[in-house]
Copies of this chain bind each other. A is one copy, B any other.
Amino acid sequence: MLETLLTQFVNCRNSTIALSAPLSEADMQIQADVFASPGKWHLAHTSWFFNEFILKRFNQQPTGFDGFDFLFNSYYESVGKRQPQNKRGLITRPSLVEILDYRQVIDKSMVSLLKTDLADDVLALIELGIHHEQQHQELFLTDILYNLSHNPLNPAYQKSDAKPFETLLPELTMQAFEGGLISIGHQNDDSFHYDNEQPNHRVFLEPFSLANRLVTNAEWINFIEAGGYDNALLWLSDGWHIKQNSGWEMPLYWEKCENAYQNFSLNGLQAVDLNAPVRHISYFEADAFARWRSKRLPTEAEWEYALTSDNHGLLQVYGELWQWTASPYTAYPGFKASAGAVGEYNGKFMNGQYVLRGSSFATAPNHSRASYRNFFAPHHRWQFSGLRLAE
């Protein structure tokens, strides 16, 4: 296990650096909105996590990085004060070079430590730190995309020769599931999981069906052109008001240019790929679309139960897009936040958000598990989020 964790650690840390390769320091400096942290901040904060929760315990925190504890704490009240979230983009010093140096010094200490005999709780915290950094790798990309999107020149993060979804798209079918008194939540075996996946518990489900695949861009264009964005009766009240005030008429990053839909992605501005699953939609839009189709969104229990059923027939489960569920993000019955400061990781955000299930093309592959609970506010659209219909 120890050797594996060391390898995981090194691979994870290198992957973060690899993500920043196509970017300048300026690209990684800006923060176009409070939720879209700068790339530099992600590089530093993920290191801060190991320093704060591991190295400090062994009195191995690096010297010469005054102020980093303040600058790169995200939201841990029990650890101390921090840079306001909406001002992360104003920190030009430390420079990128200094942040990379900070990473290296921490890496060196962590690697040494990982070669020693460590207590189980320390190993668990290191594993948490790796998964934490992997989550930030996805955020790094969602935030870079958002930040670059404010440039009228539409600069691409990278140039890709990604092929469109040309393959025959399967017909949309509804897969039936029996339900009953089932169990969801992590089994609490040795495999990694967050505290919010706990405890495994019983839930009663009526029979239901889930769509075999995600909703596509072509299907979304039908919704747009049928007036879906203009029909208040399809929308939740909060969603309708946000839509009106924000002028939403299509997914985030879309524009219509001479009757053709284009969308801005990490590869720049391109024609919308009709067969690809629609992304960058809010919960409110997903919910309105489902109502327009006389369907609904799945609950997280339905989603998890279906996924763990034999021959479920569901496509595009992982590695495509996060899938909005109808479930507000709440504590499972008997939920206990982790002990110590990392108890602030998940539990205190259990208000006003919805659970998303599955994973996206930007999620680390080892995050693909049925019990994983991602969560965002219902108006947020900058994540790699799509939808799967239920009834």
Interface residue ranges, A against B (CB under 8 Å)? 24-27, 29-30, 32, 40, 66-67, 70-71, 75, 77-78, 83, 87, 89-96, 147-148, 150-153, 155, 181, 201-206, 232-233, 235-240, 284, 299, 326-328, 330-331, 333-334, 344, 348-352, 378
Contact = CB atoms under 8 A, between A and B. Distances in A.
Q: Which of A75, A181, A233 has the most CB of B within 10 A?
A: A233
Contacts of A181: 181, 204
A351 B330 contact: no
Nearest to A343: B233
Contacts of A90: 30, 32, 147, 150-151
A354 to B, nearest CB: 9
Contacts of A206: 201-202, 333-334
**Interface secondary structure of A, over-half rule:** loop
A32 B30 CA distance: 11
23 contacts: A24-B93, A25-B26, A26-B29, A26-B92, A26-B96, A29-B30, A30-B90, A77-B240, A78-B233, A89-B89, A92-B147, A92-B148, A92-B151, A92-B155, A94-B153, A201-B206, A206-B334, A235-B348, A237-B348, A238-B352, A239-B351, A328-B330, A351-B378
Contact of A24 (B83, B95, B204): B95
Given A29-B29, A181-B181, 12 more contacts: A26-B26, A26-B92, A30-B89, A30-B90, A30-B92, A89-B89, A206-B333, A233-B344, A236-B348, A236-B351, A237-B348, A352-B352
Nearest to A284: B351
